[in-house]
A = this chain, B = another copy of it.
């Protein structure tokens, strides 16, 4: 049992389970992409892993190497648990509310996807027999990015004295599980107190980090609504500010506290400037008020669901999981505003809070087609890191820009280059996301200001990474593709095809914006060289087997002995040396299959079917980045049940904790993979050159509907068993394709079209023991 209740628009957990706190704090996390708060209990304890994060706020630590090498990054970065403003403690007649003691008569938490709040309802009897009801509701505002707020209500069942303590708490002790002692040291009390102030119901704490030198401030203000006289106090010192209210509440009465939180950080600004910033955020929040914040939050989400909702008839748990996924992707990206979208969003400390390539290849497609401004801002973050990417290219002996494998501030933090820096596809992935965003939005301003430069600089990287061989093929040698069970290979198909697109898009962008191209020193010869390299790009194919090689030589490698690999040996990277994984035909995650999705335009249907079957038999899905993509290709080759199974796997990664690590944060790319499986898989959406669809339902479903935005038009596609309906929700007419047939969808005139028979799927099997769970439809 997962413990979650299935509801279409909320995630609900009933009862208290202390061992489950750590993982539910991730799933119940609130964020707007700027501030992130894990779903801890108001009273702070019991807890799993407390966490409050500010996007881009990190501490540095040195990276150790047993044997170093030129160009290895010296400094790592790791997200910091900043000043915790979530804490509201309660004393009931001197007894602290702690659900491990007394009796929790009723307890539930609800993450509401439409209100954008985390609600809590608890009935508790203290060890001395006092009964109270606590209701709280917490939000991190989508509309006021520096603001969070908590509405906290206590109703005593008898006349009781209540004391509420509302804290700002810096340097909470947090255990660091496993890992490097240097990281642990960097994160042990990472904040140095600069300033503390309190007056009335307001307090401010300012801190900075030791090594990265970033500065932050947190402020709180309170509104108290009680039925009787109250005595309040406030004080602030280095790492703690506390507002205290003591009040006698009669049975039937209530204590109502609203806590407003303001957060700000900067690498540049002074303490007074930061204080002014959080004061202003608080002033705005108080002006809006709690009810106002709730209204704004709901309006923001209503708009989101209008453009992004997915409906599934026939599987309520997947229905819930898909909305959970969309809600968290929105939370991760909504207000990032030129900061990275981390692999875990702001839901936990996993991966040190780093952003990876999967932001561009998984998360940004969702945002590009639902909240395009958020996608734009994430790409503007990449653009803002171009100076670092150019420097990195120089260190690596290359031209153009080399984006980091993992980073918070744009500098490479990967301490193992074969599976990090060598994965140069990350730069092509950025280019791919740029081209996809530009095509989907027609955002000329971004294209000119940022997109062209990103495309040109990444194209230049490919020109120096690759070379024309004796046979005039363009090779990209010694790089690592998406599959992390291979490394340092020649001509990885995914990488080469991403590079090919990158080069062509750069050529087009340079022609669209000749002035910008001129500023970047682009000459016509350079553009010709890009196009020539793209045209000659080598894509290895095994003629004997009739399949593409993930990379040159891949299909000649030894097969992995799946029959003798025990279930508990997965994920293989924890039980097998990289050495042996790299040299055999075992695939961690979709690689060639991902190439067939995002560059599906260069594979024939027969190749797709043969390749899919070949790689399916060798892919172990030890990565959460795989199932969504396998779903897309399974659907395309006609394996619709399998596609449904994979969609379920992607959607349940976090809710079913499939990788046993959701306590460290959610898998944003896997959540995005669920959306991709719906829209690109069953919706058959592609955007190779213009938007196209090829919808088709899995056998177990009666109906599925998804929505998206394209060039300002909001579209809803409803897929039935026999036919699909295209409807304009808002905006102008849309030119697209349905199963290869050009169509125009006019506003006010839904278009219903028959769905052709699916192709006969190839015979497909997975490695022994790695078959996906068969998804039975649930009532």
Q: Which residues on A are within 8 Å of B, measured CB to CB?
A: 63-67, 69-71, 76, 180, 395-398, 414-422, 467, 469-470, 475, 477-479, 487-488, 490, 544-545, 552-553, 556-558, 573-580, 582-584
CB distance from A536 to the nearest CB of B (A): 13
**Contact across chains for A64 and B180 when beta carbons are under 8 A apart:** yes
* Closest chain B residue, CB of each to CB of A182: B64
**Contact across chains for A580 and B65 when beta carbons are under 8 A apart:** no
**Contact across chains for B475 and A556 when beta carbons are under 8 A apart:** yes
**Contact across chains for B573 and A70 when beta carbons are under 8 A apart:** yes
**Contact across chains for B180 and A577 when beta carbons are under 8 A apart:** no
**Contact across chains for B477 and A69 when beta carbons are under 8 A apart:** no
CB distance from A290 to the nearest CB of B (A): 45
Residues of B close to A575: CB separation below 8 A = 70
The answer, among B67, B69, B419, B479, for a CB contact under 8 Å with A577, is: B69
* Closest chain B residue, CB of each to CB of A61: B66
Q: When chains A and B are docked, how far (Å) is the Cα of A475 from the Cα of B557?
A: 8
**Contact across chains for B70 and A576 when beta carbons are under 8 A apart:** yes
**Contact across chains for B490 and A488 when beta carbons are under 8 A apart:** no
Residues of B close to A470: CB separation below 8 A = 544-545, 556
* Closest chain B residue, CB of each to CB of A475: B556
Q: When chains A and B are docked, how far (Å) is the Cα of A475 from the Cα of B584?
A: 11
**Given known contacts A470-B556, A488-B488, A553-B552, is B69 in contact with A578 (CB within 8 Å)?**
yes
**Contact across chains for A66 and B415 when beta carbons are under 8 A apart:** yes
Residues of B close to A479: CB separation below 8 A = 583
What are some 25 contacts across the A-B interface (CB < 8 A)? A63-B66, A65-B65, A66-B76, A66-B415, A67-B416, A69-B573, A69-B577, A69-B578, A71-B576, A71-B579, A396-B580, A397-B576, A397-B577, A417-B577, A421-B579, A470-B544, A470-B545, A477-B556, A477-B558, A478-B557, A487-B488, A488-B583, A490-B553, A490-B583, A553-B553
* Closest chain B residue, CB of each to CB of A553: B490
Residues of B close to A545: CB separation below 8 A = 470
**Contact across chains for A66 and B396 when beta carbons are under 8 A apart:** no
* Closest chain B residue, CB of each to CB of A580: B397
Q: When chains A and B are docked, how far (Å) is the Cα of A576 from the Cα of B395?
A: 8
CB distance from A707 to the nearest CB of B (A): 40
Residues of B close to A544: CB separation below 8 A = 470
* Closest chain B residue, CB of each to CB of A69: B578
Residues of B close to A487: CB separation below 8 A = 488
**Contact across chains for A477 and B583 when beta carbons are under 8 A apart:** yes
**Given known contacts A65-B66, A70-B574, A70-B577, is B417 in contact with A557 (CB within 8 Å)?**
no
**Given known contacts A469-B556, A475-B556, A553-B552, is B415 in contact with A67 (CB within 8 Å)?**
yes
CB distance from A67 to the nearest CB of B (A): 4
Q: Chain A interface mostly helix, strand, loop or mixed?
A: loop
The answer, among B416, B552, B580, for a CB contact under 8 Å with A66, is: B416
Question: Which of A76, A477, A478, A488 has most chain B Cβ within 10 Å?
Answer: A478
**Contact across chains for B65 and A582 when beta carbons are under 8 A apart:** no
**Given known contacts A477-B558, A583-B478, is B415 in contact with A418 (CB within 8 Å)?**
no
CB distance from A614 to the nearest CB of B (A): 13
Residues of B close to A71: CB separation below 8 A = 576-577, 579
**Contact across chains for A578 and B417 when beta carbons are under 8 A apart:** yes
**Contact across chains for B417 and A579 when beta carbons are under 8 A apart:** yes
Q: When chains A and B are docked, how far (Å) is the Cα of A478 from the Cα of B479?
A: 14
Residues of B close to A395: CB separation below 8 A = 577
* Closest chain B residue, CB of each to CB of A416: B67
* Closest chain B residue, CB of each to CB of A63: B66
Supply 18 further A-B pairs (C-beta < 8 A) apart from A65-B65, A421-B579.
A64-B65, A65-B415, A66-B416, A67-B414, A67-B415, A67-B420, A69-B578, A71-B576, A71-B579, A395-B577, A397-B580, A417-B579, A467-B558, A475-B557, A475-B558, A478-B580, A479-B583, A552-B553
Q: When chains A and B are docked, how far (Å) is the Cα of A417 from the Cα of B578?
A: 9
Q: When chains A and B are docked, how far (Å) is the Cα of A390 from the Cα of B580?
A: 16
Residues of B close to A582: CB separation below 8 A = 478, 488
Task: Rank and list the top 3 A-B pairs by shortest CB-CB distance, nearest first.
Answer: A66-B415, A478-B583, A64-B64
CB distance from A158 to the nearest CB of B (A): 56
Residues of B close to A478: CB separation below 8 A = 557, 579-580, 582-584
Residues of B close to A467: CB separation below 8 A = 558
Residues of B close to A70: CB separation below 8 A = 573-578
Residues of B close to A577: CB separation below 8 A = 69-71, 395-397, 417, 421
Residues of B close to A490: CB separation below 8 A = 553, 556-557, 583
Q: When chains A and B are docked, how far (Å) is the Cα of A584 from the Cα of B477?
A: 8
CB distance from A394 to the nearest CB of B (A): 11
* Closest chain B residue, CB of each to CB of A76: B66
Q: When chains A and B are docked, how far (Å) is the Cα of A419 from the Cα of B582?
A: 14
Q: When chains A and B are docked, how far (Å) is the Cα of A47 from the Cα of B207?
A: 50
**Given known contacts A416-B67, A467-B558, is B422 in contact with A579 (CB within 8 Å)?**
yes
CB distance from A437 to the nearest CB of B (A): 29
Q: When chains A and B are docked, how far (Å) is the Cα of A582 from the Cα of B398?
A: 14
Residues of B close to A396: CB separation below 8 A = 577, 579-580
Q: When chains A and B are docked, how far (Å) is the Cα of A583 from the Cα of B556?
A: 20
Q: When chains A and B are docked, how far (Å) is the Cα of A246 from the Cα of B61?
A: 57
Residues of B close to A469: CB separation below 8 A = 556
**Contact across chains for B64 and A66 when beta carbons are under 8 A apart:** yes
Q: When chains A and B are docked, how far (Å) is the Cα of A420 from the Cα of B418?
A: 14
* Closest chain B residue, CB of each to CB of A414: B67
Residues of B close to A66: CB separation below 8 A = 63-65, 76, 180, 415-416
Residues of B close to A418: CB separation below 8 A = 418, 488
Q: When chains A and B are docked, how far (Å) is the Cα of A422 from the Cα of B488?
A: 13
CB distance from A354 to the nearest CB of B (A): 12
Question: Which of A417, A557, A558, A573 has most chain B Cβ within 10 Å?
Answer: A558
Residues of B close to A63: CB separation below 8 A = 66
Residues of B close to A397: CB separation below 8 A = 576-577, 580
Residues of B close to A76: CB separation below 8 A = 66
CB distance from A403 to the nearest CB of B (A): 15
Q: When chains A and B are docked, how far (Å) is the Cα of A422 from the Cα of B477?
A: 19
Q: When chains A and B are docked, how far (Å) is the Cα of A22 from the Cα of B470?
A: 50
CB distance from A112 to the nearest CB of B (A): 38
**Contact across chains for B69 and A416 when beta carbons are under 8 A apart:** yes
Residues of B close to A64: CB separation below 8 A = 64-66, 180
